[in-house]
Amino acid sequence: TNNAFICTHLDAFKMAFTARKKIVKDDGAALGPFEETVAQALFDLEATNNELKAELKDLYINGAQEVAIGDGRTAIVIQVPFRLLKAFHKIQQRLVRELEKKFSGKDVVVVANRRIMPVPKGGFARARPRSRTLTAVHANLLEDLVYPTEIVGKRQRYRLDGSRLLKVYLDAKDRNTTEYKLDAFAGVYKKMTGKEVSFEFPVTEAAN
């Protein structure tokens, strides 16, 4: 019985250690309990889901966090290395579907880990790639959040109190598969940028 107990704990330890390969923090920081849970979920999918096994084998994430999006709901933000984003995109719809099942229907979004470079001193703006500016990183975050749905328009609205609201219009053909996540998109964007945004589908007039 003792041997069985020891084997069970060794197996659990081995699996937890292996699961940690699915998450690599850029700064070598320790994993939080929730990040370990997400890493384990990815490892489990790689081990048991024939549809995702091959693609997940070489993929890992940089971090994961829960974000409150109102009405008692929570979204899960998974940050992945920028260079692996395209590989994640190939399986994203299937992966998100499986993760949302594992996490009891919480909305899951996948975003690239991008760094914003400060404006160089001395006016050498050319030394900073355009993709690393605040504006570019925030615009790319919008596209990551709604993938694979396309953004078809944006409009900046100014409220009476002077605050701004960015309205982002999404391709109406994806309404049925995306509409339930609009609050999650807005909540995550606000958490990551501090900016207010609303996601909508353009109103199309019915043909006469």
What phi and psi values does residue 73 have, to the nearest 5 degrees? Answer: -95, 155
- For residue range 102-115, list pLDDT tens digits in order: 999 799 999 999 98
Q: Are 23 and 17 in contact (CB under 8 A)?
A: no
The pLDDT value given to residue 143: 97
What pTM, to 2 d.p., does this model score?
Answer: 0.84
Question: Of all residues in the chain, what percent carry a pLDDT higher than 70?
Answer: 83
What pLDDT sits at residue 71? 85
Band (pLDDT 50/70/90 cuts) for residue 167 is: very high
Q: What's the pLDDT at 117? A: 76
pLDDT in tens, 60-88: 999 999 999 988 899 999 999 999 999 99
2-19 and 33-48 helices, crossing angle to 10°:
100
26 pLDDT tier (thresholds 50, 70, 90): confident
pLDDT reading at 7 higher than 60: no
Average pLDDT, the chain: 86
What SS3 state is found at 47?
Answer: helix
In sequence order, the 6+-apart residues with CB closer than 8 A to the CB of 58 are 87
Residue 20 has pLDDT above 70, yes or no: yes
pLDDT at 123 over 70: no
**Model confidence pLDDT, tens digit, residues 33-70:** 999 999 999 999 999 999 999 999 999 999 999 999 98
CA–CA gap between residue 106 and residue 86 (Å, rounded): 23
For the cut 50, the answer to whether the pLDDT of residue 192 exceeds it is yes
Q: What integer pLDDT is reported at residue 127 of this predicted model?
A: 61
pLDDT at 128: 61
**Spatial separation of the C-alpha atoms in residues 204 and 206, rounded to whole Å:** 6
In the predicted model, what is the mean pLDDT of residues 162-175?
Answer: 94
* Percent share of the chain, pLDDT over 90: 67
Task: Please state at what angle helix 85-102 crosses helix 33-48, rounded to 10 degrees.
Answer: 100
Q: Supply the pLDDT for residue 122.
A: 62
